[in-house]
Amino acid sequence: MTFSERANQLFLEATTAYHKTDHVNATMPQPYTSGTIEAVLFQKNWIDAVQWHLEDIIRKPDIDPAEALVIKRRIDASNQDRTDLVERIDEYFYDSFCKVTPLTDAPINTESPAWAIDRLSILVLKLWHMKAETERLDANKEHLERCTQKLNVLVEQQKDLSSAIDRLLADYESGLRCMKVYRQMKMYNDPSLNPSLYAKK
């Protein structure tokens, strides 16, 4: 099984687990051993699933502004959690390939493998929700046909992205590309770096 196949499997497991309760305050189950890449990938998709639904809730036209602010702050925190997990995934790959000596002219990829895997996690969520749209009993024929077309596109995108991830990892393993971990250095969540926060002290 390739890494992308395993990741897609874990993401689908997490998405399915979330939708058993379909509630943003549900407790995440963790069927995998703490610290393993499987546990990290499962947690990554769970966080993405919760944030997906928080983004839905905050777009309700009649939402109370106070509630919207609470959700916005929660989304901000979730984004930081997502970023931290992406960096942990890149650290896993760096540890996996750090003993490989890259070719002298090995290029650096514009996107780290973990950020590609981040997009793969979101794709699994898109596939889940688009498939649900194709099965709605209250939707008209045009809606179902449009969503079926979109679902087919998403399936192709998942296939292409999965293939690209596996090729990238193979390039790292063979030294054709140089692996680095890039830190996001998000500043707005850091009280010492965000002027709107430290200026009030």
Whole-number pLDDT of residue 7:
98
Whole-number pLDDT of residue 182:
74
What's the CA angle centered on 151, arms 86 and 109, to 5 degrees?
35
What's the CA angle centered on 41, arms 37 and 43, to 5 degrees?
115
Beta carbons within 10 angstroms of residue 128's beta carbon: 18
Please determine, for residue 188, whether its predicted confidence score (pLDDT) is greater than 80.
no
To the question of pTM greater than 0.85 for the whole model, the response is yes
- Tell me how far apart the alpha carbons of residues 29 and 16 are, in angstroms, rounded to a whole number: 11
State both tokens at 53: 């639904």
Residues 102-129 have a mean pLDDT of: 94
DSSP 34-103: TTSHHHHHHHHHHHHHHHHHHHHHHT-TT--HHHHHHHHHHHHHHHHHHHHHHHHHHHHHHHHHTTS---
Residues 125-149 have a mean pLDDT of: 97
Residues 176-190 have a mean pLDDT of: 76
Q: Give the domain ranges of the chain.
A: 3-191
Q: Choose among 129, 130, 136: nearest CA to 149.
A: 130
Residue with tokens 């499962």: 42
Choice among 18-27, 68-77, 167-176, 177-186 with the minimum mean pLDDT: 177-186
